Structure 1
């Protein structure tokens, strides 16, 4: 039965929120933020790549993986060791999507721009939702707080990791969930199990939340929970050991006692920063529990890099933080907000909403000069390093296709044209050439004074020096 127009009660609408049909900014602002973030993170990556900044061997590893997929081969990565299949290290088959990237641009620098694009794209759905719920200005600020958050900045600064693919998937899934498009949320979340094995637990927990909070979609929620849990068990206890050269899951030994989860204090600081990224009030949204699987393995881990804010481990938590914030601040169309203790909590006042977004912004801004993205604005970062020419000459001195043992500094740039292994790796193959960098951190400040003698002692074959300048030395077999 239709309700007469003069007696119907229209849904309560927040006057600070512009209706979609009158808000072209809703479409423009998210795209502009995405472009700005992509350019900022992409330029940061290019600066690092061209200035020979190598934070770890990860970029070299993933460049070798991308080359393998691009050449339609299994992801065998000799940098990690002879015949090492990287799918036996972490379970990330979704990285096969890097093959087309390699076809277009066969370089480690392309991976940095791919990650920048994925981070940028992730801002579009979340910022649109923020504008719908908070209004144009406040919503755009919330989107900016997300896309330039400390978690995404630090991930970009330490270069490419597989989690780059998880960030937009989480953003799309959580946005769909908050918009009431539960089936779309399930479909966007499902591929997360193919990004990294531990994300299966995040997917399972999301499925449980859907089953509990969206009763008409309980079936989809339980199916997603089973999918995530099943893939976690399958990948961690079956597939990874099967594909691992040692027949095991390599990271079990990195887990310590659960009693150590709350110590040292740096873990508390990281947890506080994540809560601040959610505007504090995001802590009352059930979505905040999606952080727990990632924090559980990190905080029980014995590797110090797991605990802090400045590595890539917080990137997957940033979409969760903003989604929890928006969930807790509520929907202007219903006037309701999420809260642990009730299902019909009233929407917080405008002052609370503004304060929450300001807090989310402040947790990154307070880092000041430590923010990695500011490097793109520093004139000194645009000047080529004095070592650029010697580095290029050193790579040129190595014959194409040669088996090359190399330091981390030039590991990623060496991959496209050479069969690369790590200078200090467990490889049994005798390299055709050895390329050392006396300034590489892997030498701990004590590089060999005679690289030829060191290489001959290391591999028990004869080498001669082909190049030496700028700290780089190339020695090859006759």
Structure 2
């Protein structure tokens, strides 16, 4: 109760924000303004799992994990036993994004030691254009990532390592490539927090997770005859599989650098950093957290 009284501004902010966007999402769906493919893809997979047909879909690969390894979706199956339909996904996404404001607020309060500054930053976060665009763009696992990553970082600040690794695993369970984005978090812990054991442990866990998820799970569930995952969406121009991508990184680093520095990629990086006034560039250590090896071109099309 004390925490509720001390941070009532935060709770009211999250409640009003969630209510507003929940109404918007319901209206969006009922007026036929949601996407018929992406939303249906996840709806079919979770509904089929709830009925005993594990992650089966009728789009792309017959099995969802043949496209993306996202075991976090299994947590939504019990919700489908209560209400089976895409509205469950849309409202759950609103709740997940709204909840991410809570660890964000506490991180900001820890950093600036001022509840008012933390609240203002949280307002700016919840109204951040790319966040709201992603929220309103049907349903995607990526929108759950801020909740888990912010929570992991907050528990790292508190040095509660059990909870830190629990949320780290939840974040990686959203999508196989999240493990790559979390490697810089481990390096950040080594550099800034001097937590070498935890930091390098994070790097190791991420490497193992990505290797198993992208190197075994996705190919295992992938249907023969369809475009391979790497060819279709993930660094396909660098190789047709995880092994080829790794070999190319070692043997032809200049080619990889050329991909990063081409005009389209640079534009993507400009859009990413420009949205926050390039402020991360003034804090090199913190900027490490944004240095994950994601294809910058995706920032042109993704929310």
TM-score (norm 1): 0.54
Q: How far is 1:179 from its partner?
A: 3.9
The residue aligned with 2:295 is 298
Pairing of 1:89-238 with structure 2 (within 5 A) = 89-132=67-110, 133-215=112-194, 217-238=195-216
Q: Over aligned residues, Cα RMSD in angstroms?
A: 2.5
The residue aligned with 1:287 is 286
8 Å Cα contact 1:237/1:249 also seen in 2:
no
TM-score (norm 2): 0.82
| 1:41-93 Cα distance to aligned partner (Å, 9 max, x none) | 22221111001013451101011112022223210101335xx1101100101
Question: What SS does the corresponding residue of 1:298 show, helix, strand or coil?
Answer: coil
Distance 1:37 1:205 in 2: 31
| 1:144-171 Cα distance to aligned partner (Å, 9 max, x none) | 1112212220111211101132221011
Distance 1:228 1:40 in 2: 36
Question: Residues 269 and 214 (structure 1 numbering): CA distance in 2 closer, same or farther, change over 3 Å?
Answer: closer
8 Å Cα contact 1:123/1:147 also seen in 2:
yes
8 Å Cα contact 2:18/2:98 also seen in 1:
yes
8 Å Cα contact 2:187/2:200 also seen in 1:
yes
Is structure 2 residue 267 aligned with structure 1 residue 266? Answer: yes
The residue aligned with 1:51 is 31
Question: Residues 273 and 93 (structure 1 numbering): CA distance in 2 closer, same or farther, change over 3 Å?
Answer: same
Q: How far is 1:24 from its partner?
A: 6.2
Greater helix proportion? 2
The residue aligned with 1:311 is 302
Distance 2:290 2:231 in 1: 20
Q: How far is 1:285 from its partner?
A: 5.1
Q: How far is 1:104 from its partner?
A: 1.5
8 Å Cα contact 1:92/1:197 also seen in 2:
yes
For the pair shown, the structure with the greater C-alpha radius of gyration is 1
Greater strand proportion? 1
Question: What SS does the corresponding residue of 1:251 show, helix, strand or coil?
Answer: helix
Q: How far is 1:290 from its partner?
A: 2.6
8 Å Cα contact 2:70/2:141 also seen in 1:
yes
8 Å Cα contact 1:129/1:175 also seen in 2:
yes
Pairing of 1:351-366 with structure 2 (within 5 A) = none
8 Å Cα contact 1:92/1:162 also seen in 2:
yes
Question: Residues 268 and 169 (structure 1 numbering): CA distance in 2 closer, same or farther, change over 3 Å?
Answer: closer
| 1:177-201 Cα distance to aligned partner (Å, 9 max, x none) | 2344455333321222211111111
